[in-house]
Structures are given as structure tokens and as C-alpha cells.
Structure 1
Amino acid sequence: MKTIERISKFTGDTFALWVIFFGALSFFYPSGFTWIAPHITLLLGIIMFGMGLTLSPSDFKAVFKAPRSVLIGVLAQFIIMPLLAFGLANLFQLEPEIAVGVILVGCCPGGTASNVMTFLAKGNTALSVAVTSISTLLAPILTPTLTLLLASKWLPVSASSMFVSIAQIVLVPIVLGIIVKLLFKNQVAKSVSALPLISVVGIVAVASAVVAVNAGKIAETGLLILGVVALHNVLGLLFGFLAAKLLKLDFSSQKAISIEVGMQNSGLGAALALAHFSPLAAVPSAIFSVWHNISGPILATWWGKRSNKNSISSSPVPFTD
């Protein structure tokens, strides 16, 4: 078990490198990864089940201890990124499938990697976990609704079908994970150290499969999509930070909201795009998965070093409003 724990920690610490490496590999050798595509929904379900295993009542108690901070984070998540995606799709006059893909990833909840990045940035990790949990649980309602409102200009959107998909991929596995943890608390505690390894393998596999299926199209339009995705992510980080600052949250919480807003659950975006639109619509999510695992660690490392240099205490900030 100790060996698995060490491997799990290593893969978690080097997550960004694995995403980049296998993303490149699947682009140049797509035939080795296309077989994964039919199993994307299952992989995400496993990842969400693992998230359920890690959740505890304290994660939800935090919502009542600091409702204003959590509300700001959730609203920023579901307002800033969707509107930025809509604006960028219009500004760059993206073709319909790509435009819908950009909007779809913008309408997804925050990714769990944001919690790790917030910790490395010496941000308010408790706030980050609470916002990720709540936004993920709200995703079955808000993601289809926002996608319908913003993306139907380009392609028909079935919000009800998307609701069912997200419930199956996200809600049911998380609830099952929470139930299993309650019933088998000791056994789960012993195996939870392996979850980072499972998550890394799952997310890398999803991103690689989407890149492999669309390798030809990425070769044609990759630079444009990369530019839009990078801009989307960087602006999300910036506006998330500015929103938290404007609403007078402390600096630790500003960092948490910034990272939470900028880092999306791109795996969910890819799965929804493949299920309800087209493989091409999944490309922005795949590229987002690679890109935000570059920008996130860079920003987190810079903030973390800045905190050390300024002798800011790295102890957790009391999570109250």
C-alpha cells in the first residue's frame, strides 16, 4: 500500500507533465488512443466516484460558516467563464462546433485540480473545496441551462438530455461515493491515498482520447483553438481574482476564487461534447485540460513563492465571513 501511495503522490505532483506528454503522444500517434473514446463517460464516473469518497460533512459545513464567500465563488464560476466563452466565440467568429465546445467548457463546474493549485498558492483551500463541491453538485442544472442560453445560436442544444448525462456522470457517482464512505469508513480511509493516481490516469486518458480522435482537425485549427482556450483561461483567472477583490474578500480567498474560476472540469466538457454534439466540439475541452494544467501550476507556484518572500503565514485562514 505504501508503494501505491508513493506512486499516487508522484503522479499527482507531476500531473501537468503527464497531460502534456500523453496529449502530444496521442496527437502524433492517434491510433494508440482512439479506443479510449467510447469509455470516456465511464472514466469520468470513476473520477467523480473518487471525489465522493473524499467528501466529508466538514466540506459542506464550510458553506454555512462562510456562505458569502462560497456564494461569490459559485456565482463567479457560473457567470464569468460562460460569458467569457460566449464573447470569445463571437469575437473570433469560431465555426459552430468549436464555438459550442468553448462555451460548453466555460459552463462546466470547477475542476478538482483547482483545490491542489489553491493549496500550492497558499490560498484558502477550504473555500476552494467548498466551491468545487457546490458547483459540481449544481452542474446538472446550471451547465445545461447556460449552454442552452449561450450556445443555441450555433447548434441545437437539448438541455434535458444534458441534464440526464451530467446526473449520470457526476451526481450519481458522487452520491454513491459518499454512501460507500459512510458505510465502509475504515476501508475507504485505507485506500483513499490511491485516488490521485486514479484521477490522473482517468483525466489523462480522457484528454488523450479527444486529441487522438481529432488529431487531423487540431493540425488545421489547433493554433486558433489554443489561443482562444488560453485567453479564456487567463481571463478567467484574472476576472475571478478581480471579482473577489472587488467584493472585499481577503487575499487568501482572492487566490482561491481566481484559481477556482479559471480551472474548469474540462473532462466533463469533453464527455458532454462527444455525447451531444461532435468530436470536434470536444477539442476545446481537451486543449483546456492541457493548458490549464500549465497555467495553474505556474500561477500557484508564483503566488506561493510570493507569500513566502513576503513572510505571509501559510497557516489556513479562518474560513468565516
Structure 2
Amino acid sequence: MKKLGKLASFLSLNIGFIILIGSLFAFWKPAAISWAVNYTSLFLGTAMFGMGLTIHVSDFRMMLRHPKDIFLGACCQYTIMPLMAWVLCRLFRLPPDLAIGVILVGCCPGGTASNVITYIAGGDVALSVGMTITSTLLAPVLTPALTYLLGGAWVQVSFWAMVLSVVKVVLLPVLAGIALQYFFHEQVEKIREVLPLISVIAIVMIISGIVAVNREKLLESGLLVFGIVMLHNLLGMGAGFLMARIFHEDYRKTTAIAIEVGMQNSGLAVSLAAVNFAANPLATLPGAIFSVWHNIAGSLFAGWRRRGVEVRRREMKDAAKESA
């Protein structure tokens, strides 16, 4: 079990590169992995169930103790990224297929990868987890509503169909995981270290399957989508950082908010695109590419912020020595 735990930890810390390897394999041998696209919703539900298993009742208490920070994070999550997506779609005059995919990414909640990246960056992990839980629980209403409002200009969006999709692949699995963790806490704790492995495998399978079935489309539109995705992520992270500074959040909370806002649950965007916009095959590409890019960008941002934490610690030690 310990070896599996170490493997899960390694894969979680390097999920961006694992997704990249899986995507390259899918691009090289599409026939070997294209079957996975038929189980996109199942894989995402599994990942969300794994997330639910890691949520404790104490996490909700923490959210109640810090409502201002959680509220700020949730507001940034569901305003900055959706509006950034809409602006980029208008600015670059994206075709409907790609536009609805970008909008979907922007309207999704934060992803669990943000919690890992926040930990690496030396940010406030408890706040990051609280924001992820909050945005995920709000997703069944806000994700369809925002997609309907912002994406309706490009394609027809069925609000209630999307609500049902999010409830099935996000809300119910997360609640089931929380319930299982609450009633069988001791048993779940024994396999806690292995749980991230389930989510990593599920997300890699989702993205690899999408890449496999869209190989030709990636060759045609991949560079454009990558550019849009990169801008979306970096602008979102930068705006989240700026908002946290405006509200005078401390160093660790600013780091957590910036990462949480910029890193989306792109697996959900892929799943929703596949289920609700089957007539728009390119709609899955932004989410698939975002899954690779935001982990790489998040890791780079984490390295920069981590160095800042170390510098501050050294300065505090030097100041303590001088005062002594």
C-alpha cells in the first residue's frame, strides 16, 4: 500500500506531464485508446467520487470560519474565467465549435489539481480545498447557467440538460464519496494515500480518449486552440492574483486564490462537451488541451511562489538573528 501511495503522490505532483505523455501516445496510436471516449462520463464520475472521499466534515467547518476568503474565491472563479473566455472568443472570432468549448472551460469549477499545486507553491491549502469544494457544489447551477448566457450566442444550449449532466457526473459522485468517507472513515483512511491515483488515471483516460478521436482536428486547429487556452489560463491566474491583492489577502491566500481561479476542472468541460454538444466535435478540444497546459503553467507558477516563500523565511531568520 505504501508503494502505491508513493506512486499516487508522484503522479499527482506530475499530472501535467503524465497527461502530456498519455496525449502523445493517443496521438501516435489513436486506435489503442479511442475506446476511452465512450466512457468519459464514467471516468469523470470516478474522479469526482475520489475527490469526495478526501473531503472531511472539518473542511466544511473551515469554510464557515473563513467565509470572506471562500466567497472571494468563488466570485472570482465564476466571474473572471467565464468573462475571460467570452472576451477571447469574441476577440479571436472563434467558430462555434471551439467557442462553446472555451466557454465551457471558463464556466467550470476549480479542479482538484489546484489543491496539489497550491501545496507545492506553499499557499493556503485549506483555503484551496474550501474553494474547490464550494465551486464544485455550486457547479450544478452556475456552470449550466453561465454556459447558457455566454455560449448561447454561438450554439443552442439546453440549460436543464446541462444541469442534469453536472448533477450526474459531479454532484452525486462527490456526495457519495463524502458520505462513504463520513460513515466508513477508518476504512477510507487506510487507502487515503492511493485515492489520488484513481483520479489521475481517470483524467488521463478522459483526455487521451479525446485526443485519439480528434487527432485530425488537432492537426488543423491545435495551434489556435493552444494559444487561446494558454491566454485564458494565464490571464485568469493573473486576474485572480490581482483581485486577491486588491482585497489585501496575505501571501499564502493570494497564492491559493490565483491558482484556484486559473486552474479549471477541464475534465468536466470535456465531459459536458461530449455529452451536450455532440454536434460540435471540436468543442472537446479546449478542455483537453487546457488539462495539459494548466498543470504545466500551475507548476511553473508554484515554483515561482515557492521561491518567494523561501526568501521570506530567510529574511525572517536573518532579522531574528540581528535582533538577538
DSSP 3-state at the match of 2:310: helix
Residues 1-321 of structure 1: matches in 2 within 5 Å?
A: 1-278=1-278, 279-311=281-313
The letter for the 2-side match of 1:265 is N
Question: What per-residue deviation string (whole Å, max 9, x for no partner) do you get for residues 81-131 of structure 1?
Answer: 000000000100001010000000100000001011111111111111000
The letter for the 2-side match of 1:121 is A
Q: Percent identity among equivalent residues?
A: 46
Alpha-carbon distance in 1 for matches of 2:227, 2:93: 13
Alpha-carbon distance in 2 for matches of 1:122, 1:4: 25
The letter for the 1-side match of 2:62 is A
Alignment partner, residue 320 of structure 2: none
Identify the range of structure 1 (304-313 vs 5-14) with the bigger mean alpha-carbon deviation: 304-313
Per-residue deviation, 1:313: 9.7
The letter for the 2-side match of 1:54 is T
Alpha-carbon distance in 2 for matches of 1:148, 1:313: 50
DSSP 3-state at the match of 2:123: coil
Alpha-carbon distance in 2 for matches of 1:60, 1:137: 12
Identify the range of structure 1 (47-56 vs 72-81) with the bigger mean alpha-carbon deviation: 47-56
DSSP 3-state at the match of 1:249: coil
Alpha-carbon distance in 2 for matches of 1:63, 1:2: 31
Per-residue deviation, 1:19: 0.8
C-alpha contact 2:81 2:236 (8 A) present in aligned 1: yes
Question: What per-residue deviation string (whole Å, max 9, x for no partner) do you get for residues 122-158 of structure 1?
Answer: 1111111000000000000000000000000000000
Alignment partner, residue 318 of structure 1: none
Alignment partner, residue 319 of structure 2: none
Alpha-carbon distance in 2 for matches of 1:14, 1:254: 23
4+ aligned runs moved over 3 Å, structure 1: none
User: Which blocks of at least 5 consecutive residues in structure 2 are unaligned?
Assistant: 317-324
DSSP 3-state at the match of 1:311: helix
Identify the range of structure 1 (131-140 vs 178-187) with the bigger mean alpha-carbon deviation: 178-187
Per-residue deviation, 1:70: 0.5
Alpha-carbon distance in 2 for matches of 1:14, 1:228: 23
Q: TM-score, normalised by structure 2?
A: 0.95
> Cα–Cα, structure 1 residues 9 and 160, in superposed 2: closer, same or farther, change >3 Å?
same
Question: What per-residue deviation string (whole Å, max 9, x for no partner) do you get for residues 231-287 of structure 1?
Answer: 000000000000111111112111111000000000000000000113310100000
Per-residue deviation, 1:188: 0.6
Alpha-carbon distance in 1 for matches of 2:185, 2:253: 31
Structure with the greater alpha carbon radius of gyration: 2
> Cα–Cα, structure 1 residues 52 and 313, in superposed 2: closer, same or farther, change >3 Å?
farther
Alpha-carbon distance in 2 for matches of 1:86, 1:237: 16
C-alpha contact 2:118 2:124 (8 A) present in aligned 1: yes
Alignment partner, residue 319 of structure 1: none
DSSP 3-state at the match of 1:33: helix
User: Which blocks of at least 5 consecutive residues in structure 1 are unaligned?
Assistant: 315-321
Alpha-carbon distance in 1 for matches of 2:200, 2:49: 14
Per-residue deviation, 1:312: 6.7
Identify the range of structure 1 (143-152 vs 251-260) with the bigger mean alpha-carbon deviation: 251-260
